[in-house]
Chain A
């Protein structure tokens, strides 16, 4: 995997998580004040940076094959679960991720909570809301940085890609002071799910001792193959859901008449 491919993969994956974290920080900032929300977000980023800095060197010290097996297997399971959710959303089985709706819910809850100061934090609720949001979404960022970075012995590059995604999305969110609903988050999640699954399978198999036909070029077949499978599944589910809705619509007048 080239440095450019690593950067793009981590950047895209972290963009999705950064959009979700930004929605929560914006809700905290608008409802409870920007200072507390900023303290919470910065504190969570600092915690995650410490985790990456502590675990990164430890992971890269593990022998390459063992590391690829364990990290690849984790990434594979994580990636397939991610892809499964994306397929279910794209197929209409579960609701699409809607940043506007999430933002409205968080804002309403945050506006209704009582306020109290703690230490230098003007509003503890705003601080904890932003801290928890960034920490939860950021844990997935840290996971992606550590798995991709340690496998390629390029944690600084993976961290830089994650940092770039967080800065870009955070700056865009702060500039518009609204959830980044225009980011094609569901399409990005689909793409990231394919990447996590493909790289996870590739590294896990390599770590297990398998030799891919064509070496790294196998990824050029594996990734489009997984994407095609996911797209076919989503299309099949959409057709199935459409037929189900038509059946329900057709049976409704009969029920009313009887």
Chain B
């Protein structure tokens, strides 16, 4: 005999069964229910191994500041490019083409009177965004990954300088030249890459930055319009059609030195992601990478020296770069000198993290200094200048060998 339950009434046994089932599901799939931490080797924003508890606490504080967006009422602008560090560096990796910055100058003159050296194409209400003036040299720059910069900083100058061959004395067509940079006054001598004397540039697309502090304080100032104790004067549009001084009502400096230093410390301690698993085709790709001459600039491993942070000291740095300037030919030239780098010279781009690039760019790839290459193969084929021979060698490979090289590079 069938009987229907009254609407709105459920039998107690059925309810108990449902609860028991729910508890069983909860117990069996705890990670699903409570979320899962990403694998440390599969992210761009993990700390280097072996940090002390105090270093990890500082890392967490810096992580918060790196991700903190600024509202106009908190000091954003008056002119700026984006609202936070994380808004340009996707998951602490590279940015998308939409986040690319436009740098300009007139020769070595940063063209301050025209709003140089960078276009701030956003403005808070009451201010006026900058537009590119005529008659200047322009360079579009994709935000680079920020992981691993502490390891790069920890590589002794002598290690990098040992790779230079400015006059190509070995006749292999590849020179490799340092960019000697005069640090800004606010970078003290006891800061790596600081002091009154020219220092080896190792950061940014043309190695035109010698210290992480310079890079971070400059990014707050130029990219976000956030003044700090290091750069306390607001960046304004000198070509604005009307007075815009009143737009940003937050007193300067808008953040203290401690905030900038927290972010410096954070990026210093960011680990590069682990490379992909080894395999026979990958080993073949690695061998071809070497025999084609790619590894002459994309040096697979450099070694850090002594460092106040024990976890950064005496470590192998598998970045695939010599951190030196190379002439990359007319095709990639921006014709805009930067420090001692010429308009066609670029720092060898590290290849670490390419394995995860698309994961954090919504499935896309943006390579080379301006993101013009949408795949590793396209990026290789756009190489010229000192890399022409290696590029031609790659182009001449058969499909399997090409695939092996691409698989190897894409697994870094």
A binds B: no
B residues contacting A by CB (< 8 A) are none
A residues contacting B by CB (< 8 A) are none
